[in-house]
Structure 1
Amino acid sequence: MNILKLEMLSKEAFAPFGEVIEIEGSDWHPINGGTTRRYHHLAPIDAGPEGGRPGISMARGQAFSYPVFVSMLERHPAGSQAWIPCTQTAFLVVVAPNGPDGRPDETGLRAFRASGSQGVNYRAGTWHHPLTTLDRQGDFIIVDRVDGAPNCDEADLRATYLIDGSLKGA
């Protein structure tokens, strides 16, 4: 069995795959007469070069607990996809680079634990695991292309990977 060790999600570690959406460490400016801090443009929205339409949706993810098994990934070739927790729910972020054959490069597979105050924005074409909330059900805002054009590829992995919840380097 292949074991994937978790990394804590950080902007630097996730940069090859997209953006981490979080207030911590982000620039802000006051709005609404100084009563609100706006953390502006935390991630770009990519709806594709052919004029795709971005939209905002919501999802309710069921609770998972360790161990989690990863045997497939998906990607959205026509635009980015952001997942932003509304309920302070931690979730798994599993990603892989694109291989030379267009499939996920399993040698570069990485697993992150996102805190309930972090979201992610997967760049267009980034292979990632479907939403996997940890310990309890969670509600999420999704920002992605919603015009009905085909925008989801799935790939079964050549191996199954186990995430037991242990941190890399621990």
Structure 2
Amino acid sequence: MTGRHIVAQSLTAEAFAPFGAVIDKAAVDPRPMNAGKARRFHDLAALRATGEDARVVIGLVEAEPYALPLRVSLVERHPLGSQAFMPLNAAPFLVVVCPDEGGRPGRPQAFVTAPGQGICYDLGIWHGVLTPFGEPQEFLVVDRAGAGVNLEEVSFDEPWTVDLPGALGA
């Protein structure tokens, strides 16, 4: 292989911890509610919103699938608020994150979610775009609204190619 490659790994809470939280109902014990007719999986991720008039908002995103292998040429971060993405179907999606190296994104890392997993990026974490693959997906998005510039983007001089392990790349 030529160029810059990274291999996606399975998304786990431990591996993703430097970048945020994995939203996964398997991580908590549900609480009964509504006279036992419902189960609540509470406190799966914490969101933060800072700045003037800051508030947490909920949105819905309809996303088209990306072709694989994915070429990552741009990452972004949100310095004033966390961002959570929860798929509304059971299909996996690709998550690309970068450590911060002096205010710039470092070497990307890639994760593949398990069915039903979502993610919550911590405040100021460099990340790739929302990346479903295989089929279109809808996502519930929880993030920050309010005054201030809450988007920074950086383009890589040379793109990174994300390879999926085994059957995921087929």
TM-score by length of 1: 0.91
Runs of at least 5 residues in structure 1 that lack an aligned partner in the other structure: none
Instruction: Give distance in 2, aligned partners of 1:64 and 1:22.
Output: 23
Instruction: Give distance in 2, aligned partners of 1:149 and 1:115.
Output: 34
Corresponding residue number in structure 2 for 1:7:
9
Match status 1:75 vs 2:74: no
> Contact 1:82–1:143 at 8 Å: present in 2 too?
yes
Deviation at 1:158, TM superposition (A): 3.2
Instruction: Give distance in 1, aligned partners of 2:5 and 2:30.
Output: 39
Instruction: Give distance in 2, aligned partners of 1:88 and 1:150.
Output: 33
Match status 1:97 vs 2:99: yes
Corresponding residue number in structure 2 for 1:117:
116
Instruction: Give distance in 1, aligned partners of 2:53 and 2:120.
Output: 19
> Contact 1:89–1:137 at 8 Å: present in 2 too?
no
Corresponding residue number in structure 2 for 1:146:
145
- Please give the per-residue CA displacement for 1:102-143, whole angstroms capped at 9, x wherever unaligned: 01012xx21000123010000010000010101000000110
Deviation at 1:166, TM superposition (A): 2.0
Corresponding residue number in structure 1 for 2:63:
61
* Aligned 1:129-140 pairs, distance under 5 A: 129-140=128-139
Deviation at 1:164, TM superposition (A): 2.5
Instruction: Give distance in 2, aligned partners of 1:71 and 1:84.
Output: 24
3-state secondary structure, aligned to 1:12: helix
The letter for the 1-side match of 2:115 is: G
Instruction: Give distance in 2, aligned partners of 1:157 and 1:79.
Output: 23
Q: 1:148/1:59 Cα in 2 relative to 1: closer, same or farther (>3 Å)?
A: farther
Aligned residues: 164
Match status 1:40 vs 2:39: no
Deviation at 1:80, TM superposition (A): 0.1
The letter for the 2-side match of 1:65 is: A
TM-score by length of 2: 0.91
Which segments of structure 1 move beyond 2 Å, counting only runs of 4 or more? none
Instruction: Give distance in 2, aligned partners of 1:36 and 1:48.
Output: 33
3-state secondary structure, aligned to 2:35: helix
Deviation at 1:24, TM superposition (A): 1.4
